[in-house]
Amino acid sequence: MTGYPSDFTSVKAHLGTAGSVNEALHLIQSVYRVDFTTYHLASTVVGNFDAPFVRTTYPDAWVSTYLLKGYVTIDPVAREGFLRQLPFDWRELEFASETLTFLEDAMRHGVGRFGFSIPISDKAGRRAILSFNSTTSAEDWNVLLDLHRSEWVDLAYLVHQMAVFELHGESDPIPALSPRERECLYWSGLGKDCKDIALILGLSHHTTRSYLKSARTKLGCGTVSAAATLALKLRLISI
């Protein structure tokens, strides 16, 4: 703990000076005395690449094993984390029979039995998870979780902001579309015209056109069809 802040206000201040998400995770891990922390952004678009952004303090051997064996496809924390909206204790999860080998392998690599994950969803529609893992006893884990649960939720969004900045700097390519703008683009992407969309959503033609125009402007596109295509690429909508 030497050299690290001991209260939540100081933790947040120190995160602001962290040079990377990786550095921030190590800071959080040390302050809260958990064994491992992981941040996982489901997907990001940088240039022509569309790939997840993951930073973790897990041992390199476990990270390599996880990737080589394709464990992300059966990892219950990853699966549930991108489906749920609220933070969850890993003990809430139901483990299917095919995950038993994965769990045994994880523990052989030093991964603890206890964990807590915070799903993150931002205004641009990005989904991410911040997870804490511990090898401590159940009793100590309960105490740790009771003490710091709300702080960890706040930290999750700070780490997410850091990740977005690390990826894009000041030029975040993903604008914050409103739910209605997303809906209108979704139906446009399915080939519906303004009249159809207005009827489907129960809106006036004028309101529908306004949503499509504002979405197109935010995305920097000359046409609605181009905006729908870009929104699909950026995962703002899915068809």
Q: Do both 123 and 62 map to the same domain?
A: yes
Q: Do both 37 and 80 map to the same domain?
A: yes
Number of domains in the chain: 2
Per-residue pLDDT of the chain (239 residues; tens, 9 = 90+): 444 455 788 788 888 788 899 999 999 999 999 999 999 998 665 554 456 889 999 999 999 999 999 998 999 999 999 999 999 999 999 888 888 889 999 999 999 999 999 999 887 778 899 999 999 999 999 999 999 999 999 999 999 989 988 888 777 767 778 889 999 999 999 999 999 999 999 999 999 999 999 999 988 899 999 999 988 877 788 87
pLDDT at 5: 52
Length of the chain: 239
Distance (Å, whole) CA 99 – CA 108: 14
Q: Domain boundary residue among 168, 192, 217? A: 168
pLDDT at 239: 77
Q: Do both 161 and 194 map to the same domain?
A: no
Residue 212 belongs to a domain with what CATH number?
A: 1.10.10.10
pLDDT at 209: 94
Structure-block tokens of residue 197: 């969309």
Distance (Å, whole) CA 37 – CA 58: 7
DSSP 59: -
pLDDT at 235: 75
Closest residue by Cα to residue 215 from 179, 167, 239, 171? 179
Amino acid type, 68: L
Structure-block tokens of residue 59: 């041992």
In a domain, 238, yes or no: no
Structure-block tokens of residue 189: 């992407």
